Amino acid sequence: MFKRDLELERSWHVLLRHIEESLGKKPKDLNGVLFLIGVQELGQGYRLFSKEEKQDLLHIAICKVLSLAGYYELEGLDQEGWPHWKVIKKLPHFDLLEQEKLLKMHVLEYFEIEHQWNLSPEST
């Protein structure tokens, strides 16, 4: 288990470097990366978002990355273009650390699929 955790963290740092090279700024944490995914998935470009909209963007990102594992499915867009998701299968009960690992794992998969980034630690 420890080796897999170490590999996950190494790949995570490779992802953060890729984002920093692309945007000129390194996200502080998982929520920062999720926010970027949410903005991308919303597809309306970057602008100032209200606190509620930022929470909605995090929700969009979480649903998108967990859809890769079959937990969510896109239902459609509302009149303002915001995506809405439905639960397909229930998430297992995890503690916070396990939840973070699950999200990081699927965030990495998201960037590998959507951006064709090689995020293995050996690629650096």
Contacts of 76 (CB under 8 A, 6+ apart): 83, 84
Q: Residue 5 — pLDDT band, cuts 50, 70, 90?
A: confident
pLDDT digits (tens, 9 = 90+) for 57-67: 999 999 999 99
pTM of the model: 0.91
Q: Please give the Cα distance from 17 to 88 (Å, whole number).
A: 33
What percent of the chain is predicted at pLDDT more than 70? Answer: 97
Contact 59, 71 (CB under 8 A): no
Average of pLDDT values for 102-118?
93
Residue range(s) defining the domain that contains residue 37? 2-123
Q: Please give the Cα distance from 57 to 45 (Å, whole number).
A: 12
Average of pLDDT values for 62-79?
97
pLDDT digits (tens, 9 = 90+) for 6-54: 999 999 999 999 999 999 999 999 999 999 999 999 999 889 999 999 9
Asked whether residue 123 carries a pLDDT value surpassing 80, the answer given is no
**Structural domains counted in the chain:** 1
